[in-house]
């Protein structure tokens, strides 16, 4: 059975046959109210009772399948439902008994997996594996003090940069706050820790860099990656959304790509320029993903080292992949587009004063703005190339 967030009557045979997917997912039992089975990409399957407890969506762990049978899982789920009907909420673990690793797992199961967009949840998981797990996985949560948070923040800033340290601090605060809301902990040691000051980046592809950039793309040894970067540049979409672009979400008739779930948790419709449509047409295949891969995710993953090679071949310094997104917005601004149109293009959340304008704005001015910016970038690339060759 392929993975699906579906509902069906749980049986041992059906759950054994349930295949893991590239991302974590859950299925729902139609016989016992609130009984779900969570399946990780590694194939681990765990029963939970999921539903609202004291106004908040919570998961109560029942046990791992198949060690815990379907019948036992139903009995335990029904018992929890019965206790809730009598006003008896499941008892939270005793305070001070949980490790930070256990707080992380509760946060992941009860919040991130349920409420966060896939890209955002995956970033949380990356931070856990690389930054938090090595430091605090087995540490009792109530033993972690503000000084420990400051020490870890400084260590991450030194080895990974202040921006990463700030993102890590945000996640730590969320994990502790989630534990407090669930009455697993009394205080958040990170509550008063301040983030490092971040300088706003203004880097984008300049006119004299575009010919070198396009030439390097044309000659790059991996044209899958080259196409990925072209689509990032000409749509202004986030890398995570482009990497997971699916054919079913691309409407060639109207030249529109619908991103099912953005970083903000909402969908976004992105007009596709003629250049992007041409790239996609050349890549048409039977795979689910536009940028398919034989890896476990089924699609390309963030190409850090390949990006460094591209910049070396292009002779460009100080440019990040995220700057491709900023480049489209910058060239839109240079072509005279309004902040409202640029914000709509990039999927930025509208401010309170602009909300009504965002709601009314259709894709026509956005498409026109993208086409103008794309044309300007391509013309800058060509004109500089011609100037160099004539010189």
Cα–Cα dist 391/169, whole Å = 52
Same domain, 168 and 266: no
What would the pLDDT profile of 304-327 be if each residue is shown by its tens digit?
789 999 999 999 888 888 888 888
Is 190 part of a structural domain of the chain? no
CA-based end-to-end distance of the chain = 63
Same domain, 234 and 345: yes
Lowest mean per-residue pLDDT among 87-91, 332-336, 367-371: 87-91
Is 95 part of a structural domain of the chain? no
What would the pLDDT profile of 123-135 be if each residue is shown by its tens digit?
899 999 999 999 9
Residue 84 has pLDDT above 50, yes or no: yes
Asked whether 222 and 309 are in contact (CB, 8 A), the reply is no
Is 1 part of a structural domain of the chain? no
Strand 7-8 relative to strand 25-29: parallel, antiparallel, unpaired?
Answer: parallel
What domain range is 42 assigned to? 7-85
Q: Which residue has the tokens 């391509």?
A: 378
Among 60, 85, 110, the domain-final residue is: 85
Cα angle 258-262-268, degrees, rounded to a multiple of 5: 35
Determine if the pTM surpasses 0.85.
no
What would the pLDDT profile of 163-174 be if each residue is shown by its tens digit?
899 999 999 999
Residue 391 has pLDDT above 70, yes or no: no
Same domain, 122 and 269: no
**Once rounded to an integer, what is the mean pLDDT over residues 345-371?**
59
Cα–Cα dist 321/325, whole Å = 8
What average pLDDT is seen over the chain? 83
Cα–Cα dist 268/302, whole Å = 21
Is 384 part of a structural domain of the chain? yes
Greater confidence, 281 or 285?
Answer: 281
Same domain, 174 and 307: no
Burial class (CB in 10 A: 0-12, 13-18, 19+), 178: buried
Please, what sign has the CA dihedral across residues 331, 262, 253, 339?
A: negative
Residue 335 has pLDDT above 90, yes or no: no
What CATH number does residue 73 fall under?
A: 3.30.160.390
Same domain, 308 and 239: yes
Q: What is the pLDDT of residue 355?
A: 37
Alpha helices in the chain (DSSP H): 12-16, 70-85, 100-107, 113-115, 118-127, 133-136, 146-160, 162-181, 210-219, 223-235, 239-243, 274-283, 304-314, 322-334, 339-346, 355-360, 363-390
Same domain, 79 and 153: no
Residue 177 has pLDDT above 60, yes or no: yes
Residue 261 has pLDDT above 90, yes or no: no
Is 70 part of a structural domain of the chain? yes
Residue 66: is the preceding peptide bond cis (ω within 30°)? yes
Extract the tokens encoding 365: 């001015």
Same domain, 372 and 229: yes
Domain count, the chain: 3
Asked whether 54 and 88 are in contact (CB, 8 A), the reply is no
**Once rounded to an integer, what is the mean pLDDT over residues 178-189?**
85
**Once rounded to an integer, what is the mean pLDDT over residues 369-380?**
85
What CATH number does residue 319 fall under?
A: 1.10.443.10
Is 22 part of a structural domain of the chain? yes
Residue 358 has pLDDT above 80, yes or no: no
DSSP output for 345-369: HHTPPPPTTTHHHHHH--HHHHHHH
Same domain, 11 and 143: no
Three-state secondary-structure class, residue 144: coil
Residue 91 has pLDDT above 70, yes or no: no
Same domain, 47 and 141: no
Same domain, 257 and 375: yes
Cα–Cα dist 311/315, whole Å = 6
Residue 110 has what DSSP assignment? Answer: I
Band (239; pLDDT cuts 50, 70, 90): confident
Compute CA distances 383 → 92, 124, 333, 372, whole Å.
67, 43, 20, 16
Cα–Cα dist 303/307, whole Å = 6
Cα–Cα dist 208/288, whole Å = 37
**Once rounded to an integer, what is the mean pLDDT over residues 55-60?**
77
Is 195 part of a structural domain of the chain? no
Extract the tokens encoding 80: 């929890």
Q: What is the pLDDT of residue 330?
A: 80
Same domain, 118 and 175: yes
Lowest mean per-residue pLDDT among 213-222, 229-238, 355-364: 355-364
Among 28, 60, 85, the domain-final residue is: 85
**Once rounded to an integer, what is the mean pLDDT over residues 238-244?**
88
Lowest mean per-residue pLDDT among 33-37, 275-279, 352-356: 352-356
Is 313 part of a structural domain of the chain? yes
Greater confidence, 100 or 122?
Answer: 100
Same domain, 228 and 304: yes
Burial class (CB in 10 A: 0-12, 13-18, 19+), 19: exposed
Cα angle 26-30-33, degrees, rounded to a multiple of 5: 85
Taking alpha carbons only, the member of 324, 296, 299 closest to residue 310 is 324
């Amino acid at each position: 059975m392929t993975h699906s967030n579906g509902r069906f009557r749980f049986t041992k045979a059906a759950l054994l046959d349930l295949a893991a997917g590239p991302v974590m997912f859950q299925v729902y039992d139609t016989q016992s109210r609130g009984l779900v089975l969570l399946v990780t990409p590694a194939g681990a399957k765990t029963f939970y009772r999921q539903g609202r407890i004291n106004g908040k969506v919570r998961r109560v762990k029942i046990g791992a399948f198949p060690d815990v049978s379907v019948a036992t899982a139903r009995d335990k789920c029904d018992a929890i439902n019965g206790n809730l009907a009598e006003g008896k909420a499941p008892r939270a673990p005793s305070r001070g008994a949980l490790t930070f690793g256990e707080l992380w797992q509760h946060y992941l199961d009860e919040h991130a997996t349920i409420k966060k967009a896939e890209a955002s949840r995956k970033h949380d998981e990356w931070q856990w594996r690389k930054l938090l797990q090595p430091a605090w996985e087995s540490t009792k949560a109530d033993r972690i003090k503000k000084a420990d948070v400051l020490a870890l923040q400084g260590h991450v800033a030194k080895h990974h940069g202040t921006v990463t340290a700030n993102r890590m601090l945000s996640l730590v605060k969320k994990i502790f706050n989630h534990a407090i809301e669930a009455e697993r902990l009394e205080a958040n040691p990170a509550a008063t820790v301040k983030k490092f000051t971040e300088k706003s980046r203004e880097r984008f592809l300049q006119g004299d860099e575009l010919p070198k950039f396009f030439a390097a793309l044309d000659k790059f040894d991996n044209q899958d990656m080259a196409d990925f970067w072209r689509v990032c540049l000409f749509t202004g979409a986030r890398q995570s959304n482009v990497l997971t672009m699916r054919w079913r979400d691309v409407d060639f008739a109207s030249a529109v790509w619908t991103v099912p779930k953005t970083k903000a948790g909402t969908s976004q419709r992105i007009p596709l320029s003629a250049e992007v449509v041409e790239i996609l047409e050349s890549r048409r295949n039977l795979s689910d993903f536009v940028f398919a891969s034989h890896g476990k995710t089924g699609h390309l993953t963030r190409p850090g080292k390949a990006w460094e090679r591209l910049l070396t071949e292009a002779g460009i310094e100080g440019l990040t992949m995220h700057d491709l997104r900023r480049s489209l917005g910058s060239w839109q601004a240079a072509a005279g587009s309004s902040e409202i149109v640029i914000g709509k293009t990039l999927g930025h959340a509208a401010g309170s004063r602009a909300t009504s304008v965002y709601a009314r704005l259709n894709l026509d001015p956005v498409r026109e703005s993208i086409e103008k910016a794309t044309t300007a970038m391509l013309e800058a690339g060509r004109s500089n190339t011609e100037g160099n060759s004539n010189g």
